[in-house]
Every structure is written in structure tokens, then in C-alpha cells.
Structure 1
Amino acid sequence: MSDLPFLSLSQLARGFQRKEFSPVEVLDAQLDRIQALNPRLNAFTVMDAERARAAAQASEARWMQGQPLGPLDGVPFTAKDNLMVAGLPYRRGSRAMPEDAVRETAPGVQRCQEGGAVLLGLTTMPELGAGPVTISPLTGITSNPWDTSKQAGGSTGGGAVSVSAGFCPFALGSDAGGSLRIPAALTGVVGFKPTGGLVPMYPPNVAGGLSCVGPVARQVRDAATVLDIIARPDPRDAMALPWRPESLAGDLERGLAGRRIALSLTLGYAPKVDADIAQAFQRMAGLLTDLGATVEEADPDIENPIDAYLVLLQSGYRYALQHMSDEKKALLSPGMLEILADARTVTLEDYMAAQARCQDLARRLLAFHQRFDLLLTPTVAAPAFDADRTYPAAFEEFPNRRAWTPYTSLFNLTQQPAISIPMGLTRAGLPMGLHIVAPRGGDALVLQAAHALESVLGFDPRPPLKAD
């Protein structure tokens, strides 16, 4: 029973089926672990234990009758605070947002609940998802399970922590510039950003088309299983891609034999990479060759896209908050007010130039993928750093405070699928992430590659975190 918090989806389903344990017993184990450890981690904006227990009891009855709703029936999960849930507040990490409960549930969360999954609560995020760390004026700092003095990353920080710490097997979050992949890399779990539009979104994210919903899990197979479910259609997002009835999790064993893979440590523009991360990444060539892939070191023909990315991000916040009252704006954090101030300098010409840059980047990456099936980079250029900082001290020399996250936002601009999987630990015992990218629509290919590498990397996802 002590292993319940770290079982995979298939292990949980098998245990439920064999009546070795029940969804209620699993929920109790998760709630006990949350009570013991969350005060040191701060992963939740709000818990919903009463409704979770009712959902677990209903699932238990279905399993007793041999009529589960699917692979998620009875499985605890969490949702990021920007994925609204009926009956809970929709604060998005901000004191300026209403405390009232909302009446609708976001599509991804709803699909999971329809499949019998048990929602534990909403997880922490930076204010309105702005930034790659989870420091919020609403909830404070979210810490890393591998070292509670370190950052968990963001903006799906609480979601990544909830999975890494053994609070649940999977979490739902969003990614507008690395928000699933960055915290996954820092906390030693899997974070998958699907092709833009694959998973329906409602309401639209403030970052617009940059953002998408995806899973965090401890195993690639679990992430793929969740993706199959949350990618089902929802009429509230009529712009979502047509649903693909075939399973993305069904062909994970395809492997990497015959695949053409590019390795890029810097993408041609990253100014600095931590030595431990660079050394671990250099090992990938040998592992990929052993798996039957053809490997080459190659950078795409692009320049740093951060300027275009920030223009689009700032424009999204400016539009989303244009009608906010002065009284509410006074509750915003200095960081958010700075974003809005910068957004006021963005012109229509700037915005259209950024959109044109997206098209150019997409064309260049498409040409690159004519030569390579997959592109691999580190997920971030630095391991977790002091929890109260917004960027590593080792990167203070760079005016761009996002210089430690040079790899992820590019693929939000091009809407390509990308995943972060654990690549090992630094000499200080902190997780490092491997970033795998495929052409737009190549979600299955990303998952196959991640599954193949996961099997040979052999990472143990349990952090050395003990209850007091």
C-alpha cells in the first residue's frame, strides 16, 4: 500500500480490477501524502477533497461491478488553476481574479472526469501564467520535491510538483512557451506539449494560439493515455483540429530504428548551457545510435525568436486585461504590471511582424524536418535554482531573463509537438530534462521517441522527499 502514490495508470487499473485495492484506498493514500508533504511544497491553490471522495466512491462501485469507464477510472489527478472547474474558483494565480465559483469545466478536465478520473484540486501557477517559475501573489512560492530550497519551474509548477511528489499519477496543465515542459524538466517528470489545436481549449488562453493544454505524468505511456482522452472534441472550441480516433498511445513500441535525428545543444543561439546538462546531452548520440537511429549534430537555420514571442505574449495580456478596472489592476503583481507596461509600446506593425516571423520560423523548421524526423535539445539550460528567484544567478550576465529557457517557446510559435522527459540528475542531485520535437502533427512520433529513450535512460522518478 505504501507504493500506491507512485503506481502507473496500468498498475492502478490492474489493482482495481483484481480488487487488490480500491479507488477510495488510493485516494486516501494520496490525501495522506498531500497532508504530510504539501506544506513544504505548496502545490495547490485549492483542494476539493469532498468531491474527490464522492468520485472515488462512485468509481469503486463501477470497478466492483466490472464496469469501469476507461483507463482513468478511479485515478486521482490535478488541474492547473487556469483550467476552470465547475464549483471551484478560477483565480489563475491572481488576487485580481474573482473568488466566486464558476459554472463550467474546461474540456480537458471534463473529458478526464467523464472517464471516471478523480480530481484532487487546482494547482499553483504564476499570475496569469506569466513566467517560467511558480511564484504567485496569490499562493507564494511552489518548491521542488527534489530539493525544497529550489524552484519547481512554471507555469504549470504546481501540476508538475503534484506528479513528482507522488500526489497523483498525472496532471493537466497548459503550455504557452514551455509551461508544461520547463517544470517537468526541473522536477523529473514528463511534460508533453501537443500540436497546437490538438486538445480543445475553453475558455481561450490569454496567450491565444501560443497556448495549448497537455499532460504531466511520470511515464510517457501515461502521458499518451491521458492525451488520447483529452484530445477528444468539444464544441466550445470549434477551431480545434479534427479529432483522430486512432490511439496515440497504441503504437509506442515503434521505436527509433531508421529514424533521422538531429541533436542541437544550443539551437544556434542559446548563450550558455549548464555543464552537467551539456555533458548528459552529449550522451544521447550513443544511446540513439544503439536504438537504430541515424544521428547528426545540426542546428536549424533560425535566430533567437524571443522578441517575436514576447510581442505576441504581451499583446495577449494587453487584450485580455483591457477592461480590468483600476481597482483590480492595483491587485496585480509588479511583474504583471511590467508586462502590461511593455505591451503598451507594441504597435500594430510589431504585432504583424511577429505573426510573419511565426510563418517564417514554421517554414524553416519544416525544411529542417525534411532532413530530420526529430530534433533533440535540452529542455532548459540550467537545473533548478533558488526557489525565491525568477532566473538562475548564473544567468545574471544576460539582459534577457529567459536566457535559461531558450529551447521551448520556439515550438509554441511553430505549434509543433514537443515533450520533456527526465535525462538524469546533476552532480547535485537535481533533475535534467531532454526535449524531443517533431514536425507539426507528429505527436505519435514524439511519444514513440520519448518512450524508446525512457526505456534506456532508466530514470527513477521518486524524489528523496520524506514526510516530517
Structure 2
Amino acid sequence: MSLAEHVSQRAEKKESSMTQQTQDTTTADLAAGFAAGLDPREVAEAVLSRIAEREPVLNAFYLHDPDQVRADAAASAARWAAGTQRSKYDGVPVTVKENIPRAGHPVPSGTALANPPIAQSNAPVTDRLLEAGMVILGSTTMPDWGMLSSGVSSLHGISRNAWNPALTTGGSSAGAGAAAAAGYGPLHVGTDIGGSIRLPGTWAGLATLKPSAGLVPLHAPYLGRAAGPLSRTVAGAADLMSVIARPDARDYSTRPYPQMDWTKILSSPRGLRVGLQLHAGPGAAVDPEVAAAVQSAAEMFSAAGATVVSVAPFLTQEVLTGIDAFWRTRSWADYKALDEEARGSLLPYIARWCTGGKDYDGAATIQNYQRFGQLQQATREATEGFDLVLSPVAPMAAFGAEDPMPSNDPDTPMTHISFTLPYNMSGQPAATINCGFTSDGRTIGLQVAGRVGADDDVLAACAWYESVRGDAAPDWSRVP
């Protein structure tokens, strides 16, 4: 039953039923429900009940103020009653990652450093959500400086996977991944510089998108960085993009993309030229179960009429090592500026990792920086002839929640981003959708990449696969 149908019966429903419905509902259901008379306050209470139930275990939030959520939902209800709703999504619950500024709130970026900066203004993403009347549930957690692919943080402790709290939720959009999988409302915004939206996607069974460069405006643009959606459904990701993918003069890196159709439907992939990459080159070897699930997804595209062609590795160890070295140097500059007490507050893994940046002089740093451009060029050249490129998101399924990385050696930290990192550098859109499970039940994500500016086409392809994937679909009723 959708929430639109629920409207006529809601007086007879118990709170637990409403809470379950809200976990399962889509953004479209909510929009239809609000238009038909559903009270945003009921939805907010149901989501708050779910959060109260699961948050002691999952630890997805850095900032969460139920009273503010109730006040914002009441304001939305008043707008709907007066016919002054800000959009069809007015009242829809949403979360934002903690490094997306909200005016007046601290932005610690996952670290336990004292006196974190206070945001003086909203990020463009925050403003777009508020302009649409959406109810921000809070700011979700991330690991120290966003430089881990897990939910381990010196400030927050450990954020955990909603399917199995013993497993990582992925990172650095750690809390966003946990919140999305747990049903803390339908929409969640993360950020991604090497896989930080898509890794929670594969390890929590989500639909996500790392958008084209400059499509979603940022408060602090940086090479490879993007903000984008995490949701249980492809439609949810598309709905959120329709709100946040709008130009903003505060981000000098935004580009004048043609208008995208976020409701686009792909009836069939027939005629598409699709690349399939099962080996990335450097990094960890792909788990056979992961490879088999991705291969099976590619075979579905082929059976439906797409031409599927193998893509050889195009990332080299030299490039991956150089990018890691540059990031270490950048973080070493921040680490070096701290006093001894502040340095001691960071995770030992992060301290060890960024200390390696001191070994690179100016000439080496320039050489390492040039690796970004080399990867951009290699990625564009390798994928230019394809409408879509399919691959694993990560070589492995979810690892232990307490581990900062799949490989816990700070000297070899980036062994798991060989499939995701290239599309940050090339600026191409890359989405994830669940395509299977390991023998012990862990989720496996399919990465679907496309041409720059073809974000709506990428999501349309994901929506087609979502409609035909059968047993590869997550059973969200199994999430505790």
C-alpha cells in the first residue's frame, strides 16, 4: 500500500504500521500523499520513530534534533494547508552528510579536533533542499577528513551497516549509507572524491549516483569532488537530482549542462554499446562472487539487445600511487599545522597515512598532481566508444565495521577504488545499483558509468536494470 492510499485509512493505523510504511515508501508516494492530504507531521513522526529504534546501533547521525524536525514538518503541513507548498517534495525527509554546511552548525569533517568550524552559511545543496520545502533530518557521519572508506571516526566512533551491524556501511558517506539502508526516509545526500557515495552503495545495496563534474554545485569545489544521492531506489536518486542539480554562482566549477530529464525511462538497452570491465588493473583482485554478479548483470543487458564489449584495464599502479601520494601531501599540510594534542585526537590510521606526505618535495608533488590529468585522459579514451560502462563498484563485499579500510595497511590504502576513482577524475557520471549477493548474504553493487552530462541516461539504464534484475533486488523487509 502506498502512502497515497494510506491517507484515507491513516486514522485507523497504528504508529508501528506507519513507521514500516514510511520505510518502504518512495519519494513519489510521499509527493502523491501530501497532494492528497497526508500530513507531513505524520511522516516525520514515523521516520523519527524509526531513527529512535535503530540509531543506537547504527550511529548514522552526527547532528539530529527531533524537535527541529517536528517544527520543520509542522511548517510544511501549514504550507500544504494554505496551498503555498514550495514544491511537490515539500515535507519529504532528507539527510545531508556532515561536510555539507548548514548555517550555524559545526563542520568537523569526522574528526575529534577541538573547536570545529561553524558554518556561516548554507551549502548550495542545503539551500536547494530548503527551497523545495524538504525536512532535513540531520547531518550524517563521516570518517576523519573523509579519507577512509568506512564508518570509523575519531569523533563519532563507528557507524554500522543496516543489514548487519558487524559490517561496514562504507564511506566516506558512512552515515548516509546506513540511514538510506535503514529507512530513515527515502533521500540522502553524500559526497564523493574517489568512491565515497558509491562504496556505501555497493556495501548497503543502494541506488546512488556520483554526478557529472559541476552538475551539482558545491560549497568547496575540489578536483574530483561531487555531491549526489543515495536511496533505496533509482527513482529516489533521480528525484533528489531534480532538486539539487541546479546551477549556483557560488560554485565556480559548475557547467551549463543542457536540461536533463530525471523522469526518463529506458524501455530497453537494445542498440546501446556497453563496455564491461571486470579487471581494473592495480588494486585488490576482484572477488569471484563479485565478478560473477557483475557478469550476470552484463548478460542481461546483452540478452535485451545491447552490444557488450570487454574493456581492458586503463588505470596503472603508477597513477594510483601518485594520486594517493598527492592526497597524503595535502592532508600532511593539515596535520602538520596541528599541535601535538590535536594530532593525538585523530585516528592512528589517518595520522600514519598522512604522515607519509612529508616524504614528497615540491617537484614530486607536482608530478603526483599530474597523475590526475593522466587518469582523466585515460578514462575518457577508454570509455569514449560506449554509451555505458559496467563494472564492479569495489573488488570486495563489505568488510568488518571496526576496520578503517578493506586493507588495513596505511601504506597500501587505495586498493579498493580502482573502479570508482577514474570517473571522479574524468568527470563522468557513475551510478550504483545492487546486482547480487555473496553466498553469506552481503550485497554486491554494479557500477554504471556514462558520458559526461548523460546523468539522466545513466539513471534510466539503472532503472531498466532495476526492473529486470529479479533475485538481485534487495529485500528491504530483511533489514532489522
- Normalising by structure 1, report the TM-score: 0.92
1:344 deviation in Å? 1.6
Q: Are residues 1:339 and 2:357 paired? A: no
Q: Does 1:275 align with 2:288?
A: yes
Counterpart of 2:167? 150
Q: Which moved more, 1:248-257 or 1:283-292?
A: 248-257
Moved more, 118-127 or 268-277: 268-277
Identify the match of residue 203 of structure 2 among 155, 172, 186: 186
Matched, 1:5 2:23: yes
The whole-number CA distance in structure 2 between the counterparts of 1:98 and 1:233 is: 32
The correspondence of residues 207-218 of structure 1 with structure 2, limited to 5 A, is: 208-218=222-232
CA drift at 1:166: 0.4
Deviates more, 1:173-182 or 1:104-113: 104-113
What's the Cα RMSD here?
A: 2.2
1:427 equivalent to 2:436? Answer no
Deviation at 1:325, TM superposition (A): 4.2
Relative to structure 2, which stretch is displaced further, 1-10 or 64-73? 64-73
Q: Which amino acid in the other structure matches residue 159 of structure 1?
A: A
Tell me the alpha carbon deviations over residues 214-263 of structure 1, each in whole angstroms, 9 at most, x when there is no partner.
1111111221221122121222212222354x234032336422110111
Q: How does 1:140-289 map to 2 (within 5 A)?
A: 140-204=157-221, 208-242=222-256, 244=258, 246-253=259-266, 255-289=268-302
Is the Cα–Cα contact under 8 Å of residues 376 and 436 in structure 1 kept in the other structure? yes
Structure 1: distance between partners of 2:400 and 2:338: 33
Aligned to 1:23: 40
Distance 1:173 1:197 in 2: 15
1:385 paired with 2:402, answer: no
Deviates more, 1:455-464 or 1:130-139: 455-464
Shift of 1:209: 1.1
Deviations for 1:168-187, whole angstroms, at most 9, x for unmatched residues? 21111110110000011101
Q: Is the 8 A contact 1:133 1:390 kept in 2?
A: yes
Task: Name the SS for the 2:396 alignment partner.
Answer: coil
Partner of 1:407: 419
1:316 match: secondary structure = helix
Q: Does 1:107 align with 2:124?
A: yes
| Separation of aligned partners in 1, 2:283 and 2:419 | 8
- 1:180-220: CA deviation from partner (whole Å, max 9, x where unpaired): 0001110111121111222111134xxx2121111111111
Pick from 94, 111, 132: which aligns with 1:77? Answer: 94
Q: Is the 8 A contact 1:227 1:248 kept in 2?
A: no
Distance 1:398 1:83, change over 3 A: closer
1:262/1:145 CA distance change after superposition, 3 Å: same
Structure 1 position 443 matched with structure 2 position 460: no
Gapped regions of structure 2 (runs ≥ 5)? 1-17
Matched, 1:34 2:51: yes
Report the more deviating stretch, 412-421 or 253-262.
253-262
CA offset at residue 14 of structure 1?
Answer: 0.7
Q: Deviation string for 1:140-184 (max 9, x for gaps)? A: 111111111111110001001111100121111110110000011
Judge conservation of contact 2:257–2:453 (CA < 8 Å) in 1.
no
Percent identical = 31
Contact residue 417 and residue 437 of structure 1 kept, 8 A: yes
Q: Which amino acid aligns with 1:415?
A: G
* Distance in 2 (alpha carbons) for counterparts of 1:65 and 1:396: 55
Of residues 289, 292, 296, the one that matches 2:309 is 296
Shift of 1:315: 3.3
Tell me the alpha carbon deviations over residues 353-401 of structure 1, each in whole angstroms, 9 at most, x when there is no partner. 2333332322232222332222111111111122112344xx6799734
8 Å CA contact 2:283–2:414 kept in 1: the answer is no
Q: Number of paired residues? A: 459
Q: What's the CA shift for 1:417?
A: 1.3
The letter for the 2-side match of 1:374 is: L
Residues 408-459 of structure 1 deviation map (CA, whole Å, 9 limit, x = unaligned): 1122222221111111222211111001112333322321221111111141
Give the Cα separation in 1 of the matches to 2:386 and 2:248. 34
Judge conservation of contact 1:90–1:97 (CA < 8 Å) in 2. no
1:454 aligns with 2:466: yes
Match of 2:388 in 1: 374
2:93 aligned partner, one-letter code: P
Which amino acid letter does the alignment assign opposite residue 414 of structure 1? Answer: S
d(CA) in 1 for partners of 2:70 and 2:171? 29
Shift in alpha-carbon separation, 1:314–1:415, aligned structure 2, 3 A: farther
Moved more, 124-133 or 227-236: 227-236
Secondary structure in 2 matching 1:460: coil
Do the aligned partners of residues 354 and 373 (structure 1) sit closer, same or farther apart at CA in structure 2, a change above 3 Å counting?
farther
Structure 1: runs of 5+ lacking an equivalent: none
C-alpha offsets along residues 84-112 of structure 1, whole Å, 9 cap, x if unaligned? 11132212111115257433111112101
CA 1:350–1:265 in structure 2 vs 1: closer, same or farther (change >3 Å)? Answer: same
1:23 Cα deviation from its structure 2 partner = 0.9
CA 134–243 in structure 1, closer or farther in 2 if over 3 Å, else same: same
CA deviation after TM superposition for structure 1 residue 55, in Å? 1.4
Which range is displaced more, 451-460 or 174-183? Answer: 451-460
SS at match of 2:166: strand
In the alignment, which residue of structure 2 is the partner of 1:62?
79
**2:389 counterpart SS class:** strand
For residue 89 of structure 2, give the secondary structure of its aligned residue in structure 1. coil
Structure-2 separation of matches of 1:359 and 1:95: 34
SS of the aligned residue for 1:424 comes to strand
Q: Distance in 2 between matches of 1:97 and 1:434?
A: 39
For the residues of structure 2 that align with 1:461 and 1:110, how far apart are their CA atoms?
34
